[in-house]
């Protein structure tokens, strides 16, 4: 690996020089130190990626040197070089934190091999743990916003089910966050870091779905020039998310059911059995039970899937979450687009609370996006609020409100700030009402506007 810096610690000049030359021809950079003490200084200052140290040195022994290094760094790989036959000290070195040992006289080829192997393992480990951190951060439960009782219940269910191998069926209307739920099931399971494969059954034409799922052998049909792995095979060791499973054609349902029962299958055009190990997560916005009754979904597959069912609640059934969702989206969108952050007016928020949200959280998110950029809520949401205002119940409310606003303005002698405070609404909301009811603001105290 180019750019990898190896620290060589040995009190014998010639050994250091030879090692350094050999490692340089392999493309490594080297730093040398002639004792444990200087080795520690070079380690602190030079941040090497790898350490080779002799065991027997004057004053600080190799083992003590390793102990000191490990106090400040637990991950840098270390190989200790010991005299032939001193296995017990090699064991001691490993206990002190060395990754491996080599006996002298050194077999240089073996040493080179060990170094590259350890470096590879470490970098893979690092990559995996980065990946894991990222995934958890990006796809954890924290991303599912909502504190309503129905969301609390759901998140407890996710936490309980995620670590198991059980199939999960997620049911809920469009835009309620089924994909987020599927993702967080995977990232809270031991399978995190393993593949997470998504198949959107509604997006693949019926004629292609089998080869997409099961893969095919070379020559399975014209155009199949090489063997291709299917999505099921790609999910090996991880999770398979079948989105919109209600759209899966009946013939394919039967074939898929066999896979989950038998844990193996044949690629299209093949006989050999491929073993599979995946955790199945499925989602649908259809009522699968009804689909079963209508003969459009296999009942045996339905029962197999329905072991654990997570229902993602509609937004109108958890309206108390709207302010939190709206504010979070608003801040997020402002930050992403470098827009000065803004807040929703109380009146705007109450429009959002009134609206029935047929498109659920997705619709709310889009609406807030528009608000962040254009500064107003979409027409249909404002119209919905107005149409409610004009209903008979609304008009008496209106009349009441108009009188309240008039009175507040009168009492505060036209001071908008104080009138708004008295009404417990924002100033912008008060202006909106003044405009809506065509009120004139009494002259009195000059407002700072």
Ligand X SMILES: Nc1ncnc2c1ncn2[C@@H]1O[C@H](COP(=O)(O)OP(=O)(O)OP(=O)(O)O)[C@@H](O)[C@H]1O
Tokens of 414: 């036209």
Closest residue to ligand X, Cβ-based?
A: 177
Using rule CB under 6 A, residue 366 touches ligand X:
no
Shortest distance in whole angstroms from residue 200 CB to Mg ion: 8
Contact (CB, 8 A) for 288 and 306: yes
Closest to 30 measured CA to CA, from 65, 4, 67: 4
User: According to CB under 6 A, which one of 39, 175, 313, 426 is a site residue for ligand X?
Assistant: 175
Using rule CB under 6 A, residue 4 touches ligand X:
no
Measured from the CB atom, is 231 or 433 closer to ligand X? 231
Shortest distance in whole angstroms from residue 303 CB to Mg ion: 23
Measured from the CB atom, is 154 or 268 closer to ligand X? 154
User: According to CB under 5 A, which one of 179, 217, 332, 411 is a site residue for Mg ion?
Assistant: 179
CA distance 20 to 372: 60
Total residues binding ligand X (CB under 6 A): 15
Using rule CB under 5 A, residue 200 touches Mg ion:
no
Q: What number of other Cβ atoms are within 10 A of residue 227's Cβ?
A: 14
- Residue span 144-163 as binding mask against ligand X, x where in contact by CB under 6 A, dash where not: xxx-----------------
CA distance 417 to 430: 9
Phi, psi of 371 (to 5 degrees): -60, -45
Using rule CB under 5 A, residue 389 touches Mg ion:
no
Measured from the CB atom, is 54 or 247 closer to Mg ion? 247
Name which of Mg ion, ligand X, none residue 146 binds, using a CB cut-off of 5 to 8 Å depending on partner kind. ligand X
User: According to CB under 6 A, which one of 42, 89, 167, 176 is a site residue for ligand X?
Assistant: 176
Using rule CB under 6 A, residue 178 touches ligand X:
yes
Binding part of the chain for Mg ion, among 10-18, 178-186, 288-296, 362-370 by CB under 5 A, reads 178-186
Q: What is the DSSP string of 215-279?
A: EE-TTSSTT--S-EE-HHHHTTTSEEEEETGGGS-HHHHHHHHHHHHHSEEE-BT--SEEE---E
Pairing verdict, β 100-103 and 215-216: unpaired
Question: Hunting for tokens 């060395």 — which residue is that?
Answer: 98
Say whether 310 sits in a helix, a strand or coil: strand
Which positions touch ligand X (CB under 6 A)?
Answer: 144-146, 172, 174-180, 285, 361-362, 365
Which positions touch Mg ion (CB under 5 A)?
Answer: 179
């Amino acid at each position: 690996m180019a750019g990898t810096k190896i620290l060589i610690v040995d009190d014998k000049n010639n050994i250091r020089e030879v090692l350094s030359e050999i490692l340089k021809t392999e493309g490594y950079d080297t730093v040398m130190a002639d004792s444990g003490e200087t080795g520690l200084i070079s380690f602190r200052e030079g941040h090497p990626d790898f350490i080779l140290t002799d065991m027997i040195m004057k004053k600080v022994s190799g083992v003590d040197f390793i102990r000191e290094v490990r106090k400040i760094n637990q991950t840098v790989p270390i190989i200790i070089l010991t005299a032939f036959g001193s296995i017990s000290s090699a064991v001691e070195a490993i206990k002190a934190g060395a990754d491996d040992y080599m006996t002298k006289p050194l077999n240089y080829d073996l040493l080179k091999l060990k170094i590259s192997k350890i470096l590879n393992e470490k970098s893979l480990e690092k990559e995996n743990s980065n990946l894991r951190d990222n995934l958890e951060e990006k796809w954890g439960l924290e991303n599912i916003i909502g504190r309503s009782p129905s969301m609390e219940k759901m998140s407890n269910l996710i936490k309980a089910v995620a670590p198991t191998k059980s199939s999960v069926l997620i049911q809920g209307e469009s835009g309620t966050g089924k994909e987020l739920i599927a993702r967080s099931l995977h990232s809270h399971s031991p399978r995190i870091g393993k593949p997470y494969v998504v198949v959107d059954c509604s997006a693949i034409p019926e004629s292609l779905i089998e080869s997409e799922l099961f893969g095919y052998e070379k020559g399975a049909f014209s155009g199949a020039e090489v063997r291709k792995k299917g999505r099921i095979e790609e999910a090996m060791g991880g999770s398979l998310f079948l989105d919109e499973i209600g759209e899966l054609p009946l013939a394919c349902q039967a074939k898929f059911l066999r896979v989950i029962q038998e844990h193996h299958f044949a690629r299209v055009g093949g006989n050999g059995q491929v073993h599979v190990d995946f955790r199945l997560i499925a989602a649908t916005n259809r009522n699968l039970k009804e689909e079963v009754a209508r003969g459009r979904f296999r009942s045996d597959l339905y029962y197999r899937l329905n072991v654990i069912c997570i229902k993602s609640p509609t937004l109108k059934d958890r309206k108390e979450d709207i302010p939190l969702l709206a504010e979070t989206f608003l801040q997020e969108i402002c930050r992403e687009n470098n827009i000065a952050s803004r807040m929703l007016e109380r009146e705007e928020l109450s429009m959002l609370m009134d609206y029935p949200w047929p498109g659920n959280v997705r619709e709310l998110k889009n609406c807030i996006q528009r608000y962040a950029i254009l500064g107003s809520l979409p027409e249909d949401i404002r119209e919905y609020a107005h149409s409610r205002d004009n209903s008979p119940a609304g008009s008496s409310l209106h009349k009441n409100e108009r009188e309240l606003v008039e009175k507040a303005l009168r009492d505060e002698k036209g001071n908008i700030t104080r009138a708004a405070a008295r009404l417990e609404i924002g100033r912008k909301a008060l202006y909106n009402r003044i405009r809506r009811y065509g009120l004139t603001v009494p002259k009195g105290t000059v407002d700072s506007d």
